[in-house]
Chains A and B, each alone.
Chain A
Amino acid sequence: MIVVRLKPIPEIREMLEGHSNVLLVGCNTCAAVSLAGGEKEVETLLEALRLAADAQGSDAEFTGGVIQRQCEPEFVEDLDLEGYDAVLSMGCGAGVAFIAENTDLPVYPALDTMFIGAARGFAAWQAECSACGSCVLGQTAGICPVTRCAKGIMNGPCGGVKDGRCELGDRDCAWVMIHERLERQGQHDNTCTPPKDNAAKTACPEWDMGGHRENVKR
Chain B
Amino acid sequence: MDTTKTDKITELTDGARVFAPCRAKCPVHIDVPGYLGAIGEGRFTDALEIVLERNPLPSVCGRVCLRPCEEGCRRCNLDEPVAIAQLKRAAADYGSYPTVKPGPSIGLSAGIVGGGPAGLTAAYDLALAGFDVTIYESEERLGGMMRYGIPNYRLPDYALDRDIDHILSLGITAKTGVQIGHDVTLDELRDIHDTVVVTAGLQASRALPIPGADAQNVLAALPFLAAANRGEKVDLGKRVVVVGGGNVAMDVARTARRMGADEVHVVCLEDAEEMPASEHEVDEAQREGVKLHCSWGPTAVAVEEDGVCGLDVQRCVSVFDEQKRFSPTFDPEEVNRFHADTVIFATGQGADVADLGLELTQRGAIDVDPLTLRTSAHGVYSAGDVVSGPTKIIDAIAAGHRAAACVLRDLAGRPEVLEELDQDCVVLGLVPENMKAKTERQRRIRMETLEFYEAVETFDEIEQGYTEYEAAREAQRCLGCTTGARLSREKCSSCLTCMRVCPYGAPGVKVGGFLYFDAETCHACGACASQCPAQAISLEGQSDQEMMRRVEAVLEDAGPDTTLVFSCGCTPIVPVILGDDIRDLTVTCLLRVSEATALRALRSGAAKIAFTGCVESNCRYPHTRDLVAQRIEAIRSTLAQIGLEDRLIVTGASPEEDVHLR
Nearest B residue to A122 by beta-carbon distance? B500
Within 8 A of B (CB), among A41-60: 41, 43-44, 46-48, 50-52, 54-55
Find chain A residues with CB under 8 A from B445 CB. Answer: none
CB distance from B299 to the nearest CB of A (A): 75
Find chain B residues with CB under 8 A from A50 CB. Answer: 599, 603
Decide if A33 touches B493 in the complex (CB within 8 Å).
Answer: yes
CB distance from A205 to the nearest CB of B (A): 30
Find chain B residues with CB under 8 A from A13 CB. Answer: 642
CB distance from A137 to the nearest CB of B (A): 21
Tell me if A138 counts as interface (CB < 8 A to partner B). Answer: no
Q: How far is the CA of A140 from the CA of B596 in the complex (A)?
A: 45
Q: How far is the CA of A38 from the CA of B596 in the complex (A)?
A: 13
Decide if A51 touches B602 in the complex (CB within 8 Å).
Answer: yes
A39-B533, A40-B532 given; A33·B642 CB < 8 A: no
Question: When the two chains form the complex, which single residue of B495, B501, B594, B638 contacts A9, counting CB atoms closer than 8 Å?
Answer: B638
Nearest B residue to A28 by beta-carbon distance? B493
CB-defined interface of A105-122 with B at 8 Å, one 1/0 digit per residue?
000000000000001011
Find chain A residues with CB under 8 A from B600 CB. Answer: 47
Decide if A33 touches B596 in the complex (CB within 8 Å).
Answer: no
The size bracket of the interface on B is 20 to 34
Nearest A residue to B536 by beta-carbon distance? A39
Question: When the two chains form the complex, which single residue of A28, A36, A52, A121 contacts B642, counting CB atoms closer than 8 Å?
Answer: A52
Within 8 A of A (CB), among B165-198: none
Nearest A residue to B600 by beta-carbon distance? A47
Tell me if A10 counts as interface (CB < 8 A to partner B). Answer: yes
Decide if B599 touches A51 in the complex (CB within 8 Å).
Answer: yes
A46-B596, A47-B596, A122-B501 given; A38·B535 CB < 8 A: yes
Q: How far is the CA of A203 from the CA of B602 in the complex (A)?
A: 53
CB distance from A171 to the nearest CB of B (A): 23
Within 8 A of B (CB), among A123-159: 123
Tell me if B227 counts as interface (CB < 8 A to partner A). Answer: no
Decide if A9 touches B642 in the complex (CB within 8 Å).
Answer: yes
CB distance from B286 to the nearest CB of A (A): 56
Within 8 A of A (CB), among B470-527: 491, 493-497, 500-501
Find chain A residues with CB under 8 A from B643 CB. Answer: 52, 55
Tell me if A63 counts as interface (CB < 8 A to partner B). Answer: no
Tell me if A92 counts as interface (CB < 8 A to partner B). Answer: no
Decide if A121 touches B533 in the complex (CB within 8 Å).
Answer: no
CB distance from A24 to the nearest CB of B (A): 12
Question: When the two chains form the complex, which single residue of B491, B494, B500, B596 contacts A44, counting CB atoms closer than 8 Å?
Answer: B596
Decide if B534 touches A48 in the complex (CB within 8 Å).
Answer: no
Decide if A48 touches B493 in the complex (CB within 8 Å).
Answer: no
CB distance from B208 to the nearest CB of A (A): 70
Tell me if A100 counts as interface (CB < 8 A to partner B). Answer: no
Decide if B535 touches A122 in the complex (CB within 8 Å).
Answer: no
Question: When the two chains form the complex, which single residue of A33, A39, A44, A123 contacts B638, counting CB atoms closer than 8 Å?
Answer: A44
> By the criterion of a CB under 8 Å from any partner CB, how many residues of chain A are at the interface?
30
Decide if A44 touches B602 in the complex (CB within 8 Å).
Answer: no
Find chain A residues with CB under 8 A from B641 CB. Answer: 8-10, 48
A39-B491, A40-B594, A122-B497 given; A48·B533 CB < 8 A: no
Tell me if B461 counts as interface (CB < 8 A to partner A). Answer: no
Tell me if A21 counts as interface (CB < 8 A to partner B). Answer: no
Tell me if B421 counts as interface (CB < 8 A to partner A). Answer: no
Nearest A residue to B530 by beta-carbon distance? A40
Decide if A47 touches B595 in the complex (CB within 8 Å).
Answer: yes
Tell me if A32 counts as interface (CB < 8 A to partner B). Answer: yes
Decide if B501 touches A40 in the complex (CB within 8 Å).
Answer: no
Q: How far is the CA of A55 from the CA of B501 in the complex (A)?
A: 35
Find chain A residues with CB under 8 A from B491 CB. Answer: 28, 39
Tell me if B411 counts as interface (CB < 8 A to partner A). Answer: no
Decide if B495 touches A55 in the complex (CB within 8 Å).
Answer: no
Tell me if B644 counts as interface (CB < 8 A to partner A). Answer: yes
Nearest B residue to A8 by beta-carbon distance? B641
A35-B533, A44-B595, A47-B603 given; A55·B493 CB < 8 A: no
Nearest A residue to B533 by beta-carbon distance? A38
Q: How far is the CA of A28 from the CA of B534 in the complex (A)?
A: 7
Find chain B residues with CB under 8 A from A10 CB. Answer: 641-642
Nearest B residue to A13 by beta-carbon distance? B642
Nearest B residue to A49 by beta-carbon distance? B642
Find chain A residues with CB under 8 A from B595 CB. Answer: 40, 44, 47
Find chain B residues with CB under 8 A from A29 CB. Answer: 493
CB distance from B199 to the nearest CB of A (A): 51
CB-defined interface of B200-219 with A at 8 Å, one 1/0 digit per residue?
00000000000000000000
Q: How far is the CA of A52 from the CA of B602 in the complex (A)?
A: 11
Decide if B535 touches A33 in the complex (CB within 8 Å).
Answer: no
Nearest A residue to B637 by beta-carbon distance? A9
Decide if B534 touches A51 in the complex (CB within 8 Å).
Answer: no
A39-B533, A39-B534 given; A54·B497 CB < 8 A: no
Decide if B594 touches A44 in the complex (CB within 8 Å).
Answer: yes
Q: How far is the CA of A40 from the CA of B495 in the complex (A)?
A: 13
Q: How far is the CA of A54 from the CA of B607 in the complex (A)?
A: 13
Q: How far is the CA of A101 from the CA of B533 in the complex (A)?
A: 27
Decide if A40 touches B603 in the complex (CB within 8 Å).
Answer: no
Find chain A residues with CB under 8 A from B644 CB. Answer: 51-52, 55
Q: How far is the CA of A143 from the CA of B239 in the complex (A)?
A: 92
A50-B603, A51-B603 given; A40·B533 CB < 8 A: yes
Nearest A residue to B534 by beta-carbon distance? A38
CB distance from B149 to the nearest CB of A (A): 56
Decide if A40 touches B535 in the complex (CB within 8 Å).
Answer: yes
Decide if A32 touches B638 in the complex (CB within 8 Å).
Answer: no
Decide if B501 touches A32 in the complex (CB within 8 Å).
Answer: no
Q: How far is the CA of A50 from the CA of B596 in the complex (A)?
A: 11
Nearest A residue to B496 by beta-carbon distance? A119
Q: How far is the CA of A189 from the CA of B101 in the complex (A)?
A: 86
Decide if B500 touches A121 in the complex (CB within 8 Å).
Answer: yes
Find chain B residues with CB under 8 A from A119 CB. Answer: 496
Decide if B497 touches A48 in the complex (CB within 8 Å).
Answer: no
Decide if B599 touches A47 in the complex (CB within 8 Å).
Answer: yes
Q: How far is the CA of A3 from the CA of B174 in the complex (A)?
A: 70
Decide if B642 touches A32 in the complex (CB within 8 Å).
Answer: no
Find chain B residues with CB under 8 A from A33 CB. Answer: 493-495, 533
CB-defined interface of B639-650 with A at 8 Å, one 1/0 digit per residue?
001111000000
CB distance from B564 to the nearest CB of A (A): 14
Nearest B residue to A12 by beta-carbon distance? B641
Find chain A residues with CB under 8 A from B642 CB. Answer: 9-10, 13, 48, 51-52, 55
Q: How far is the CA of A50 from the CA of B532 in the complex (A)?
A: 23
Find chain A residues with CB under 8 A from B497 CB. Answer: 35, 122-123
Nearest A residue to B626 by beta-carbon distance? A122
Nearest B residue to A35 by beta-carbon distance? B533
Nearest B residue to A27 by beta-carbon distance? B493
Q: How far is the CA of A36 from the CA of B192 in the complex (A)?
A: 69
CB distance from A52 to the nearest CB of B (A): 4
Find chain B residues with CB under 8 A from A38 CB. Answer: 493, 495, 532-535
24 A-B contacts (beta carbon < 8 Å): A9-B641, A33-B493, A33-B494, A35-B497, A35-B531, A36-B533, A38-B493, A38-B495, A38-B532, A38-B533, A38-B534, A39-B491, A39-B534, A40-B535, A43-B544, A43-B594, A46-B596, A47-B595, A47-B599, A51-B602, A51-B603, A51-B644, A52-B643, A122-B501
A contact residues vs B (CB 8 Å cutoff): 8-10, 13, 28-29, 32-33, 35-41, 43-44, 46-48, 50-52, 54-55, 66, 119, 121-123
B contact residues vs A (CB 8 Å cutoff): 491, 493-497, 500-501, 531-535, 544, 594-596, 599-600, 602-603, 638, 641-644
Q: Which 5 A-B pairs have the closest CB atoms?
A: A38-B533, A47-B599, A122-B500, A52-B642, A33-B495
